Amino acid sequence: AIMVALPSTALTVLLEVLAERNMFGELGLEFLNLADSDTVLGVAWSAVSSLLGFLVVFRTGQAYNRFWEGCNAIYQMQGEWFDAFA
């Protein structure tokens, strides 16, 4: 996992530094200036990031519910085994 996370982190930090210093125009990368919400690209970026955020929260909630269902099933199984041998 770290082999994927480190390059992604380095790229994110680099892009953040470039955006902070407004250097996208100097490098010919104006299209990466996604903070401008007046452009079509800025609006699309906002829509995609909002959708992605919603999906992450939804999937996390589902995983949390499955985890607790599993915990409840284990406790129920323990109780049934205890009742069977008691």
Say how far apart CA 45 and CA 53 lie, in whole Å: 12
Higher-scoring residue by pLDDT: 84, 16: 84
Instruction: Give me the amino acid identity at 25.
Output: G
pLDDT, residue 49, reads 85
The DSSP 8-state label assigned to residue 22 in this structure reads T
**How do residues 43-56 score in pLDDT, each as one tens digit?**
777 788 889 899 99
Rg (CA), the chain: 23
Kindly state the tokens that stand for 79.
């109780």
